[in-house]
Amino acid sequence: MAVFAVLTAGALALSACGGDDDSNGSGSGDTESPAGSSGGPITVASDAEFTSYNGNSETGNGTWNTFVLNGVLDGWWDFGPQGEIVRNEAFGTYEVTSEDPLTVHYTFAENAVWSDGTPIDCDDALLEWATQSGQYITDEVGEDGQPIPLFAVPGTTGYDLVAKPQCQPGDKEFDFVYSEPFADWEVVTSSYLPAHVAAEQAGMTPEELVTAIQNDDMAALAPVAEFWNSGWDMEPGALLDQALIPSSGPYVIDSWEAGQSMTLVANESYYGDAPATDTIVIRFIPQDQQVQALANGEVDIIAPQVSVDLVASLEQLGDQVTVITGDEMTWEHLDFNQTQGAVFSDPNLRQAFAMCVPRQQIVDNLIKPANPEAVVMNLREFFPWDPEYDQVVGEAYGGEYDEPDIEGARALVEAAGATGTQIRILRSDPNPRRADTVAAIKASCDQAGFEIVDTPTQDLGAGIVDVTSYEVALFAWAGSGVMTSGASLYRTNEGQNPYGYSNQTVDDAWGELLITVDPDRQVELLTTIETQLWADLFSIPLYAHPGVTAHNPAIEGVQQNAAQTQVSFNMEEWSRTS
């Protein structure tokens, strides 16, 4: 579901949970903070390098960007620690003014401005609608035979039901009018990207940009899309000019040293409460080095992916650290590349692979040491602690893949004439737990006749989009439990479904689900979806991530967040007591 600082309702955040960086250096921990800060900079570890200011784009949609943008881009609402929706009235207010048609009225705070002083207003809302609604389609056709959208986004769910807002340049109010009821209307829109920057980079004024959107002027919008799709992307350490990346949140991005750290400083133009600490330093540190970095005082806060050794290492530090644990709405899974001509376009080979994956062993060996209550996850749209979980599992999944069946898998591989076929498993690097997961799969599935090839990458987002680079992708979706978030993963030709998967039953069920407000019917539709996803073997769910956050006891305000916003979700509340 939507990250409050960057994403719309149509997308879950891709979770690398293992990083795009394998360097560990001195970073910027000695940065001087401005006068008035609480005890100097606070340093937090991240395992992945920042890649884009535009977390709403197809390639920028990742938790590694959210980690930074949580403090930089504000919006209508935030996720609270348990995934609850918390309205942000410093940014503005919103209310339902009609239920037929569903109409939501939004009002920006009068003093809400970008850090360069430009008002946050209708211009930004219209750009968001234009980019996220899927209304603008080019004449070009992609490799999948489908028309290419003008704006490359991970999903359009919710926005595709919203009529174009009828507001004028500079307006501080606008309406969302829906063509159908939408259960998750509250989370469709949150924060925005600066329309005035996109307009300038496209060679037009903000007023001309608004006019182009109002008139559906594809020719005028083409240069806007060219910049929006990739113009905010950055190579490590190559921070764009400050004029291109203004802040709407409590912090601005001040500096970036590739492979080392990124420094955020207080936004002097911020219209909300001033942050408790003026300087936040984000250190890029591989997960397996973060506990030591915390012990050494190199960082103040860590929230690494749980590994076998992590909890024991933290326990050895005793009262030197404060540890917070809890369930997270992030789930690990194996996704099949089913595009035409791919190995796993053959459903029998997908079944053979599913039959040899040792899911229970993976959970027992890699997850239970940190969370003894951990279980194999058998659904994609419900977590094991959801009250509907057992009921839906009972109807949707028959237990066929609870334990490996090597002989049965080998028979399918041999029947397909696929013995010895290489199966590249794409995963983030460095990530010890995922490396161990692939090793466990190789030890089992090689016996079935496959040749499993560990395929680590430091750019997971680009790797998943390039379906020629793998047969199976091992990663996690970072979610929030919001009901409609999965639509962009499973529907035909959606932005977060690059795998070639298409099933009319699934498409139809999602189509009805998006406009259904009856809870019982929602569960029925999700059960249909889960049943079909298992029958087609779209993917293999593994487990929900256990969460561990640890911090220097002198830092106050640190909380674990079950949703995809991660530990940095409330960085503006962190303060140092000594």
Residue 252's closest CA among 235, 232, 238, 269?
Answer: 269
Which range of 240-244, 473-477, 513-517, 560-564 scores highest in mean pLDDT? It is 240-244
What share of the chain has pLDDT > 90, as a percent?
Answer: 72
Range with the poorest average pLDDT among 118-132, 253-267, 475-489:
475-489
More reliable by pLDDT, 506 or 309: 506
Is pLDDT above 60 for 495? yes
Q: Is 420 exposed, middle or buried (0-12, 13-18, 19+ CB in 10 A)?
A: exposed
When pLDDT is averaged across residues 307-331 and rounded to a whole number, the result is 87
Cα separation, 517 vs 190, whole angstroms: 21
Q: Residue 250 has what pLDDT? A: 98
Which residues have C-beta within 8 Å of that of residue 47, sequence separation ≥ 6? 16, 17, 18, 19, 21, 284, 285, 286, 287, 290, 304, 305, 430
Cα separation, 462 vs 19, whole angstroms: 13
Cα separation, 21 vs 386, whole angstroms: 35
Tokens describing residue 61: 């949609």
Given pLDDT bands bounded at 50, 70 and 90, which one contains residue 9? very low
Cα separation, 300 vs 290, whole angstroms: 10
279-284 and 42-46: which strand pairing? parallel
Cα separation, 158 vs 485, whole angstroms: 10
Give the pLDDT confidence of 410-435 residue by residue, as tens digits.
999 999 999 999 999 999 988 888 99
Instruction: Tell me the DSSP string of 1-62.
Output: ---TTT--TT-PEEE-SS-S------TTTTPPPPTT-SSS-EEEEESS---BS-TTSTTT-B
The hierarchical CATH code for the domain 328-546 is: 3.10.105.10
Cα separation, 146 vs 494, whole angstroms: 11
Cα separation, 505 vs 534, whole angstroms: 13
When pLDDT is averaged across residues 88-112 and rounded to a whole number, the result is 97
Residues 473, 335 contacting (CB under 8 angstroms): yes
More reliable by pLDDT, 330 or 203: 203
Q: What CA–CA distances, in Å, run from 111 to 70, 94, 108, 123, 245?
A: 20, 16, 8, 16, 19
Given pLDDT bands bounded at 50, 70 and 90, which one contains residue 479? low
Q: Residue 481 has what pLDDT? A: 60
Q: Alpha helices of 142-266 — where are they, by DSSP H?
A: 195-201, 206-214, 218-230
**Fold of the domain spanning 50-231:** Dipeptide-binding Protein; domain 1 (3.90.76)
Residue 199's identity, in one-letter code, is A
Residues 120, 271 contacting (CB under 8 angstroms): no
422-428 and 322-336: which strand pairing? unpaired
Given pLDDT bands bounded at 50, 70 and 90, which one contains residue 39? low
Q: Where are the beta strands (DSSP E) in 250-321?
A: 251-257, 261-266, 279-284, 301-302
Given pLDDT bands bounded at 50, 70 and 90, which one contains residue 7? very low
DSSP 245: S
Domain boundaries, the chain: 50-231, 242-326+547-576, 328-546
Q: Where are the beta strands (DSSP E) in 258-396?
A: 261-266, 279-284, 301-302, 322-336
Is pLDDT above 80 for 485? no
Given pLDDT bands bounded at 50, 70 and 90, which one contains residue 462? confident
Phi, psi of 139 (to 5 degrees): -85, -5
Given pLDDT bands bounded at 50, 70 and 90, which one contains residue 122? very high
Tokens describing residue 23: 């360097």
Tokens describing residue 185: 């209307």
Average pLDDT of the chain, as a whole number:
90
Residues 343, 349 contacting (CB under 8 angstroms): yes
Range with the poorest average pLDDT among 19-33, 46-60, 150-164, 232-246:
19-33
Q: Residue 404 has what pLDDT? A: 98
Is pLDDT above 80 for 6? no
Residues 166, 176 contacting (CB under 8 angstroms): no
Cα separation, 424 vs 432, whole angstroms: 17
Same fold, 50-231 and 242-326+547-576: no
Is pLDDT above 50 for 466? yes
Sign of the C-alpha dihedral computed for residues 485, 490, 493 and 496 taken in this order: positive
Which range of 6-10, 150-154, 228-232, 474-478 scores highest in mean pLDDT? It is 228-232
Is pLDDT above 60 for 244? yes
Q: Residue 311 has what pLDDT? A: 79
575-576 and 555-556: which strand pairing? antiparallel
Which range of 37-41, 62-66, 382-386, 572-576 scores highest in mean pLDDT? It is 572-576
Give the pLDDT confidence of 357-375 residue by residue, as tens digits.
999 999 999 998 878 889 9
Which residues have C-beta within 8 Å of that of residue 531, sequence separation ≥ 6? 395, 396, 397
**Fold of the domain spanning 242-326+547-576:** D-Maltodextrin-Binding Protein; domain 2 (3.40.190)
Q: Residue 306 has what pLDDT? A: 78
